[in-house]
Chains A and B, each alone.
Chain A
Amino acid sequence: MSEIKVSVVSSNEEIYSGEAKMVYATGSLGELGIAPGHTPLLTGLAPGPVRLETENGEETFFCSGGFIEIQPNEVTFLADTAERADSLDEAEAIKAQELAQKELSDRDADMDFTKAAAQLAEAAARIKTIQKLRKNK
């Protein structure tokens, strides 16, 4: 068993479905490397890049939270929202990060602190994905 079936789905589309030799993702308790034959594992998915090593090179996706289910021959990403990393816009992401930071520092304003913190984490993860993708190119 040298390949593992991978599907990445978000609530409004199927992002990826195919085989991979190795999968890297950020679980809620830290980074995960998933090789074929992995023991069954159920974990949360933290906002961040999901990287697949396939026959024809690498694929990177950005997922903003959700769940990962791992079976020995299958990995399923149930993402809240997911997108192909190629379509990520760095300028947009940086803008979102700045906005979230501003909201966080602006504590008096009538807003949800945890929500802003989550937004900031997501924006930071987005930027990290883009930068990682650049380095690999």
Chain B
Amino acid sequence: MANTKEVRKQIASIKSTQKITSAMEMVAASKMKRTQDLMMVGRPYSNKIQEVISHIATSNSEHSHPFYEDRTVKKACFIVVSTDKGLCGGLNINLFKSIVAKAAEFKTNGIDSSFALIGLKASAFFQSVGGEVVATADKLGDQPNPEDLIGLTKVVLDLHKNQDVDEVYLCSNRFVNTMTQQPTITQLIPLPAIEDENLVNTHWDYIYEPEAAELLDGLLTRYIEALIYQAVVENNACEQAAKMIAMKNASENAGDLIKELELLYNNVRQAAITQELSEIVGGAAAV
């Protein structure tokens, strides 16, 4: 049987771990509020730009942009949004799993995959799994700056422009609520033509100032940047929520463990006392 000193040491070490996890839980809880606010303030812009894009899709434009083109797909690019830090449960790994499954499915259809990675966790994962990485962006912090993502977006869009990549997917976690985060893969290019029903029956087109090509290129690039930024911000909110839940569970588990060990400690102590007593009694009888 273990001796009392050992058990006591174990209890102390678990208690200090519990202190750390409960502190991290509180930090995550306070950060979660801020990241959720950030996610909310970005919403009106992405909703509006989505509306405009759907208007463009319904217009009978004389100019068709390459982002709407359906090419025969030889290569796909995944933009993967992950966290920089770990300790957030299965958040990242669930997302990576769904991406790897999708890439494997593409492979059987003869489509190659490449990856553009946001966040250190994605870099680490795809380094060990293997896969062609075209761009990375990490250490964006809790308040990501849209400018930090422009480089990565440009690399991917240039690949698409040069016909090196035919389809682009955005992979990130959707924030459903604090308990649930949903890994999702959405298609960015070719842009799914979301049509506005109110406008679909009439034949109309915009007046473009200046040229349609230039304007659409700018606007669609902006749209894709906005989608990626929104995904990063949303993933941040997911990270803090997942971290809070993970740390809460860890603290609870530590509590259970401490309870069990305390029981063991009392048993061991009682056994030691009983043994000592019986030794004394035995000794006295012998004299």
The answer to whether B209 and A41 touch across the interface, beta carbons within 8 angstroms, is yes
For residue A40, which residues in chain B have a CB less than 8 angstroms away from its CB? 55, 59, 204-207
The answer to whether B209 and A43 touch across the interface, beta carbons within 8 angstroms, is yes
The answer to whether A44 and B218 touch across the interface, beta carbons within 8 angstroms, is yes
- Which residue of chain B has the shortest Cβ distance to A13 in the bound complex? B41
Given contacts A40-B59, A76-B48, contact A11 B209 (CB under 8 A): no
Range of interface residues on A (Cβ < 8 Å): 20 to 34
The answer to whether A67 and B222 touch across the interface, beta carbons within 8 angstroms, is yes
Q: What is the CA–CA distance of A9 and B229 in the complex, to the nearest angstrom?
A: 15
B21-48 Cβ-contact flags toward A at 8 Å (1 or 0)? 0000000000000000000011011001
**Residues B26-79 near A (CB distance < 8 A):** 41-42, 44-45, 48-49, 51-52, 55-56, 59
For residue A44, which residues in chain B have a CB less than 8 angstroms away from its CB? 209-210, 215, 218
For residue A43, which residues in chain B have a CB less than 8 angstroms away from its CB? 208-210, 215
Q: What is the CA–CA distance of A40 and B215 in the complex, to the nearest angstrom?
A: 14
Given contacts A7-B48, A42-B215, contact A29 B207 (CB under 8 A): no
For residue B222, which residues in chain A have a CB less than 8 angstroms away from its CB? 66-67, 78
The answer to whether A76 and B41 touch across the interface, beta carbons within 8 angstroms, is no
Q: What is the CA–CA distance of A43 and B49 in the complex, to the nearest angstrom?
A: 14
The answer to whether B207 and A11 touch across the interface, beta carbons within 8 angstroms, is no
Q: What is the CA–CA distance of A44 and B45 in the complex, to the nearest angstrom?
A: 16
Q: What is the CA–CA distance of A41 and B219 in the complex, to the nearest angstrom?
A: 13
State whether the Cβ of B192 lies closer than 8 Å to any Cβ in chain A. no
The answer to whether A14 and B207 touch across the interface, beta carbons within 8 angstroms, is no
A47-81 Cβ-contact flags toward B at 8 Å (1 or 0)? 00000000000000000001101010000101000
Q: What is the CA–CA distance of A27 and B218 in the complex, to the nearest angstrom?
A: 15
B205 to chain A, nearest CB (A): 7
The answer to whether A10 and B45 touch across the interface, beta carbons within 8 angstroms, is yes
A6-36 Cβ-contact flags toward B at 8 Å (1 or 0)? 0101111110010000000001110000000
The answer to whether B42 and A12 touch across the interface, beta carbons within 8 angstroms, is yes
Q: How many B residues, CB 8 Å from partner?
A: 25
- Which residue of chain A has the shortest Cβ distance to B143 in the bound complex? A12
**Residues B194-252 near A (CB distance < 8 A):** 204-210, 215, 218-219, 222, 226, 229
For residue A39, which residues in chain B have a CB less than 8 angstroms away from its CB? 207
A46 to chain B, nearest CB (A): 11
A29 to chain B, nearest CB (A): 5
For residue B218, which residues in chain A have a CB less than 8 angstroms away from its CB? 44, 67
The answer to whether B215 and A11 touch across the interface, beta carbons within 8 angstroms, is no
For residue B90, which residues in chain A have a CB less than 8 angstroms away from its CB? none
Given contacts A11-B229, A44-B218, A76-B48, contact A28 B209 (CB under 8 A): yes
B53 to chain A, nearest CB (A): 10
State whether the Cβ of B146 lies closer than 8 Å to any Cβ in chain A. yes
**Residues B125-160 near A (CB distance < 8 A):** 146
For residue B41, which residues in chain A have a CB less than 8 angstroms away from its CB? 12-14
Q: What is the CA–CA distance of A11 and B150 in the complex, to the nearest angstrom?
A: 14
A97 to chain B, nearest CB (A): 22
The answer to whether A41 and B210 touch across the interface, beta carbons within 8 angstroms, is no
Contact pick for A9, options B44, B146, B209, CB 8 Å: B44
Closest A-B pairs by Cβ, 9 of them? A14-B44, A43-B209, A42-B206, A69-B52, A9-B45, A29-B209, A41-B207, A40-B206, A9-B44
B-contacting residues of A (Cβ < 8 Å)?
A: 7, 9-14, 17, 27-29, 39-44, 66-67, 69, 71, 76, 78
Taking A28-B209, A40-B55, A67-B52 as given, write out 5 further A-B residue pairs in contact, using a Cβ cutoff of 8 Å, ordered by the A residue number. A29-B209, A42-B208, A44-B210, A66-B222, A78-B45
| A to B CB contacts below 8 Å, 8 in the list | A12-B42, A14-B45, A28-B210, A42-B219, A43-B210, A67-B218, A67-B222, A78-B219
